[in-house]
């Protein structure tokens, strides 16, 4: 019994530290977590301090809130040891690059249409000096202004979205996840089984055939079965 009590104390302390560390890494305050989870402030404080251990349902909702796999709390990885200064510098550099890329995209679209900067600024009702500052990346473009520019160029705002950087890759993964969720459950289950990969590959190859070739294959299969 003593050994079990000692294990519970040590495990509770470790869980508390991992939960506290996960909250710091998520950038949330204790008050944020209390409001979002409904776990009382005193209990959540005691959990982080290792005075009491969370229940599995509590840990599950905490894991969901912090966007961290539940399995993390059975490991030893520390998440909050992130160099925030370096991360901030990285994100600032990323935004600076994106501003220049957007400006370059606008210039490219203007060239495609054979439009002069002055004429286009007048067309969409923008001050020419401010517009040129946008194109030189000397001034950041607010979203409503970018929407006006996009419309004037016969483009969508989505045409300016990041598609190759870390944000673009994240969006791609998110869209792919949403597409997978839209597939009926029985098909998702079928796709998830490695044994069914040959069938999926066959379906891909058949989908790439033109109508005449596909009809020929179907007729061949029909002859075999008759």
pLDDT digits (tens, 9 = 90+) for 82-130: 566 677 787 788 899 999 999 999 999 999 999 999 999 999 999 999 9
Whether residue 184 is predicted with pLDDT greater than 80 in this model: the reply is: yes
CATH class held by domain 2-74: mainly alpha
Whether residue 222 is predicted with pLDDT greater than 70 in this model: the reply is: no
Determine the Cα–Cα distance for residues 121 and 125; give it in Å rounded to an integer.
Answer: 6
Determine the Cα–Cα distance for residues 150 and 169; give it in Å rounded to an integer.
Answer: 23
Query: Which residues, other chains included, contact 28 with Cβ-Cβ below 8 Å and sequence gap of 6+?
Result: 36, 65, 66
Q: How much is the pLDDT for 13? A: 95
Stated pTM of the model? 0.59
Task: Answer for the pair 135, 106: CB distance below 8 angstroms, yes or no.
Answer: yes
Q: Taking the CB of residue 68, how many other CB atoms lie within 10 A of it?
A: 20
Region(s) of the chain under CATH 1.10.260.40: 2-74, 84-160
Q: How much is the pLDDT for 132? A: 96
The topology (CATH level 3) of 84-160 is: 434 Repressor (Amino-terminal Domain) (1.10.260)
Per-residue pLDDT, averaged over 45-53, amounts to 95
Q: How much is the pLDDT for 178? A: 82
Closest by Cα among 22, 10, 13 to 51: 13
């Amino acid at each position: 019994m003593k050994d079990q009590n000692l294990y519970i104390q040590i495990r509770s302390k470790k869980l508390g530290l991992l939960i506290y560390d996960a909250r710091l890494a998520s950038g949330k305050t204790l008050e944020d977590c209390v409001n979002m989870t409904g776990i009382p402030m005193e209990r959540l404080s005691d959990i982080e301090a290792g005075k009491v251990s969370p229940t599995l349902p509590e840990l599950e909702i905490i894991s969901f809130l912090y966007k961290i796999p539940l399995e993390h709390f059975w490991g030893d990885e520390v998440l909050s040891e992130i160099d925030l200064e370096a991360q901030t510098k990285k994100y600032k550099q990323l935004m600076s690059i994106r501003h220049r890329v957007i400006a370059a995209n606008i210039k490219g679209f203007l060239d495609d249409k054979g439009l002069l900067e002055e004429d286009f600024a007048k067309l969409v009702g923008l001050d020419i000096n401010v517009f040129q500052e946008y194109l030189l990346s000397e001034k950041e473009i607010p979203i409503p202004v970018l929407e006006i520019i996009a419309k004037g160029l016969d483009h969508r705002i989505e045409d300016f979205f990041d598609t190759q950087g870390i944000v673009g890759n994240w969006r791609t993964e998110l869209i792919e996840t949403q597409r997978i969720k839209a597939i009926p459950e029985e098909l998702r289950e079928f796709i998830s089984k490695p044994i069914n990969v040959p069938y999926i590959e066959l379906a891909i190859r058949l989908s790439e055939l033109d109508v005449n070739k596909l009809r020929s294959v179907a007729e061949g299969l029909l002859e075999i079965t008759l």
